[in-house]
C-alpha cells in the first residue's frame, strides 16, 4: 500500500499546475544567431601585410616653408580677405548711394526745351483772302525748381518765349514774339508741412546705412571669434602631435629597456609583445594627430586665405602666441550691462525701431487733410515787326481820317506792339497775380493712411517684443559664457594635477618594474595614462582660450579687445 501511495503522489506532483504556469512568448520568425552562417562570408582570412610607415608629411604643405602667425595677424588677414566682409563692404557703399539718391530729390533743377515748328493749315476765315495759312515758330522755354526741405516748400520759375512768322494777312505782327515770366510758390499748411514722402525716404536711407554698418560689425565679431577658435584648435593639434611623437619615443625607450630586462631574466619574452604593441598603438596616435593638424590648419587657412591660389595654402602655419592667456575677471551684472551696450544685435533692433517710428510719423502726417497755399505771378510781353502783308476788311481810322485822335491811338498801339517783348516784362506791362488754397478733404477720413498707421503700430509691438526677447537671449548667452569660462578654468586646474600625478605614477611604476615589484602591463598602462593626461592638459588650456574668445563675443568687446575698427563710414 505504501508503494501504491508513493506512486500516486509522484504522479500528482509530476502533473502540470495550470494555475501557476508561465506562458512563454512565441519566438519570432526570422534569422536566428545560430543561422548567421547562412550569410555570405567576406574576407574571412584577411591579414594586412606589414609595411613601413609613411612619411610624416601633409598633403599640399611644404614643411620647410613655415609661416609664423599671431592671432592678431590671423584676424587682420581674415578681415581683409573674407568674402562675406567684402560683400558687406559693398552693401555699406550701396546704402551710401541710396542715401545720396534720397537726398537728390531736393536738388535744384533746371529744365528747358527748344524746337522749331512749321505748320500749314487751310483758310476758313472770311477775313483772309489766302487759301492756306503758313506759320513758322521757334519755341524756347527754361524752368527752375527749388525746395525748402524743412517745410516742404516748392518754388518754380519759368520763362517761355515764342517767335512766330506767318503769312496770315489779318495778323498785325510778323514776326511776332510772345514772352512770359512766371513765379509760383506752394506751401503745405497741414499735410506735408512737417513730414512728407521725400523726407521719409531720406530718414529711412540714413537708418538703413546705420543698419548695414551694424550688420558689418556683427559679421566682423563673428569672424574674429571663429578665427580665434580656429587658431587655438591648430595650437592644440600641433602640440598634441608633439605629445604623440614623445609618447612613441618613450614607448620605444621602454621597449629597449624591457628587452634588457628580458636578457637579465627579470621579464618573460612574451612581455616584449606588449611593449611592441604599445609602440604600434602610439604610432597610430601620431598619424591621427597629424591628420588633425592638417584639418585644423586648413580650417584656419580657409578663414584667412585670399583665394584658392593664396601662397599660404602651401605653407606650414606656426602659431607663435603664448598659450596661457590672462583670464578676464568681470562680474555678472557688469558683463550683462556691457553686452546690452555693445552687442550689434541690439543696435540692429534699435534701428528697426527707429525706422518704424519714421513710418508712424509719416502715416500720421498722411492721415491729415491736404491744405496748400499757392501763389503765382505771371509777367507777359509781346513784340515784333509790322506784318507787311497785313490787310483788313474794315477801314481803319488812319485810312479814313489820318489826323484824327483815333488814328493816333492806332499808331500808338502799333508802336507798342512792335517793341520788345522782354521790355514789356521788365516794365510789368501785362501782370497776372494769383493767390489761393488747394484743399483735399476726404469725407470719411483717409482710410488708407489710417490702416497703414495701424499696421505700423502693430509692427512696433512686434519689434518691442523681439527686442525684449533678444535682451533675454543676450543675458542667457553672457551667463553661459561666464559659466563655460569658470568650468574651463576648473578643468585646466584638474588636468594639471592629473598630468602631474600621472607622471609620478609612471615614474614610480618604472622604478617598481626595475625592482621586480611590478609588471610591464602596469608600466604600459601608466604610460598610456600619462600621454592622455598631457593631451588633456593642453586641451583644457585651449578650451579656456576659446572660452575667453567666446566671452568677448558674448559681451560685445571682441572688436575693442583685438584693436579692430569695424566702421567703414567716416
The greatest distance separating any two alpha carbons of the chain, rounded to the nearest whole angstrom, comes to 186
Q: Give the chain's end-to-end CA distance (angstroms, integer).
A: 121
| Residues paired with residue 112 on neighbouring β-strands, in sequence order | 142
* Residue in the structure block whose three cell numbers are 524746337: 115
Cα four-point dihedral sign 545, 550, 551, 555 = positive
Q: What is the CA radius of gyration of the chain?
A: 48
Which tens digits make up the pLDDT trace of 58-92?
A: 888 888 889 999 999 999 999 988 888 888 888 88
For 442, which DSSP code?
-
DSSP 429: S
Distance CA 362, CA 453 (A): 8
H or E stretch including 30? none
CB atoms within 10 A of CB 330: 15
| pLDDT value for 36 | 55
Domain positions in the chain are: 68-94+199-362+449-561, 108-148+153-191+370-440
| Residue ranges, the chain, pLDDT below 70 | 1-39, 47-51, 125-128, 387, 389-419, 566-570
For residues 432 and 423, the answer to whether their CB atoms sit within 8 Å is: no
CATH hierarchy code of domain 68-94+199-362+449-561: 1.20.1600.10
Q: What is the pLDDT of residue 304?
A: 92
Question: How much is the pLDDT for 569?
Answer: 52
pLDDT at 13: 38
**pTM, rounded to two decimals:** 0.73
How far is CA 298 from its chain centroid?
A: 25
Specify the pLDDT at position 4. 40
Location of C-alpha cell 569660462: 485
Phi/psi for 151 (5° steps) reads: -120, 0
CA dihedral 71, 73, 74, 76 (to 10 degrees): 120
In angstroms, the CA 149 to CA 105 distance is 10
Comparing CA positions, the residue from 286, 264, 277, 244 lying closest to residue 523 is 277
Q: Tell me the CA distances in angstroms from 378 to 143, 429, 517, one per residue in order.
A: 13, 11, 121
Phi/psi region, residue 98 (left: phi>0; alpha: psi -120 to 50; beta: rest), is alpha
**β-strand partners of 109:** 145
For 233, counting Cβ atoms within 10 Å of its Cβ (0-12 exposed, 13-18 middle, 19+ buried), the class is buried
The CA distance from 72 to 83, in Å, is 19
CA dist 235 and 323 (Å) reads 8
C-alpha cell at 9: 503522489
Beta strand segments in 93-152, E: 109-122, 132-148
Helix (H, G, I), strand (E, B) or coil at 191: coil
Instruction: Compute the distance between CA of residue 15 and CA of residue 436 in angstroms, rounded to an integer.
Output: 121
Helices within 305-367 (DSSP H only)? 332-342, 344-366
d(CA 544, CA 225): 14
> What integer pLDDT is reported at residue 1 of this predicted model?
42
Burial class (CB in 10 A: 0-12, 13-18, 19+), 3: exposed
* Residue given cell 585670399 in the structure block: 306
DSSP state of 105: G
CA distance 274 to 528: 12
Name the grid cell of 383.
513784340
Amino acid at each position: 500500500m505504501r508503494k501504491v501511495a508513493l506512486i500516486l503522489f509522484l504522479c500528482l506532483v509530476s502533473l502540470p499546475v495550470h494555475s501557476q504556469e508561465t506562458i512563454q512568448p512565441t519566438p519570432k520568425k526570422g534569422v536566428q544567431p545560430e543561422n548567421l552562417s547562412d550569410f555570405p562570408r567576406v574576407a574571412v582570412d584577411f591579414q594586412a601585410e606589414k609595411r613601413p610607415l609613411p612619411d610624416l608629411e601633409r598633403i599640399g604643405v611644404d614643411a620647410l616653408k613655415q609661416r609664423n602667425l599671431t592671432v592678431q595677424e590671423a584676424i587682420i588677414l581674415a578681415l581683409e580677405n573674407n568674402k562675406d566682409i567684402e560683400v558687406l563692404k559693398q552693401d555699406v557703399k550701396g546704402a551710401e548711394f541710396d542715401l545720396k539718391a534720397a537726398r537728390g530729390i531736393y536738388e535744384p533743377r533746371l529744365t528747358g526745351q527748344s524746337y522749331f515748328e512749321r505748320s500749314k493749315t487751310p483758310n476758313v476765315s472770311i477775313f483772309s483772302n489766302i487759301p492756306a495759312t503758313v506759320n513758322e515758330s521757334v519755341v524756347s522755354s527754361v524752368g527752375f525748381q527749388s525746395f525748402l526741405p524743412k517745410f516742404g516748400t516748392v518754388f518754380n520759375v519759368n520763362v517761355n518765349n515764342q517767335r512766330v512768322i506767318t503769312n496770315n494777312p489779318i495778323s498785325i505782327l510778323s514776326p511776332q514774339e510772345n514772352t512770359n515770366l512766371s513765379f509760383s510758390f506752394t506751401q503745405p499748411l497741414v499735410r506735408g508741412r512737417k513730414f512728407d514722402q521725400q523726407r521719409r525716404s531720406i530718414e529711412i536711407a540714413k537708418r538703413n546705412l546705420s543698419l548695414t554698418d551694424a550688420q558689418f560689425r556683427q559679421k566682423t565679431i563673428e569672424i574674429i571669434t571663429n578665427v580665434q577658435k580656429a587658431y587655438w584648435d591648430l595650437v592644440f593639434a600641433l602640440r598634441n602631435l608633439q605629445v604623440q611623437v614623445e609618447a612613441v619615443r618613450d614607448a620605444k625607450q621602454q621597449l629597449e629597456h624591457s628587452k634588457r630586462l628580458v636578457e637579465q631574466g627579470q621579464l618573460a619574452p612574451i612581455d616584449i609583445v606588449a611593449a611592441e604593441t604599445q609602440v604600434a598603438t602610439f604610432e597610430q596616435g601620431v598619424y591621427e594627430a597629424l591628420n588633425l593638424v592638417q584639418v585644423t590648419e586648413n580650417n584656419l587657412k580657409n578663414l584667412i586665405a585670399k583665394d584658392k591660389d593664396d601662397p599660404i595654402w602651401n605653407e606650414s602655419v606656426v602659431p607663435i602666441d603664448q598659450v596661457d592667456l590672462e583670464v578676464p575677471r568681470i562680474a555678472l551684472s557688469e558683463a550683462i550691462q556691457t553686452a546690452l551696450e555693445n552687442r550689434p544685435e541690439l543696435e540692429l533692433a534699435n534701428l528697426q525701431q527707429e525706422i518704424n517710428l519714421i513710418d508712424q510719423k509719416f502715416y500720421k502726417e498722411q492721415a491729415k487733410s491736404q491744405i496748400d497755399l499757392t501763389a503765382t505771378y505771371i509777367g507777359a510781353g509781346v513784340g515784333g515787326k509790322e506784318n507787311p502783308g497785313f490787310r483788313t476788311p474794315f477801314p481803319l481810322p488812319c485810312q479814313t481820317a489820318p489826323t484824327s485822335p483815333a488814328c493816333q491811338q492806332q499808331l500808338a498801339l502799333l508802336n507798342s506792339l512792335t517793341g520788345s517783348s522782354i521790355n514789356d516784362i521788365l516794365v510789368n506791362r501785362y501782370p497776372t497775380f494769383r493767390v489761393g488754397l488747394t484743399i483735399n478733404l476726404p469725407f470719411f477720413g483717409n482710410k488708407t493712411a489710417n490702416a497703414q498707421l495701424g499696421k505700423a503700430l502693430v509692427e512696433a509691438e512686434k519689434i518691442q517684443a523681439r527686442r525684449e526677447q533678444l535682451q533675454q537671449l543676450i543675458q542667457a548667452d553672457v551667463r553661459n559664457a561666464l559659466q563655460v569660462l569658470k568650468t574651463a578654468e576648473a578643468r585646466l586646474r584638474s588636468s594639471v594635477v592629473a598630468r602631474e600625478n600621472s607622471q609620478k605614477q609612471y615614474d614610480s611604476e618604472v622604478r617598481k618594474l626595475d625592482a621586480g615589484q611590478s609588471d610591464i602591463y602596469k608600466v604600459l598602462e601608466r604610460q598610456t595614462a600619462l600621454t592622455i593626461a598631457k593631451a588633456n592638459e593642453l586641451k583644457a588650456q585651449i578650451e579656456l582660450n576659446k572660452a575667453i574668445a567666446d566671452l568677448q563675443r558674448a559681451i560685445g568687446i571682441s572688436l575693442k579687445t583685438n584693436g579692430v575698427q569695424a566702421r567703414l563710414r567716416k
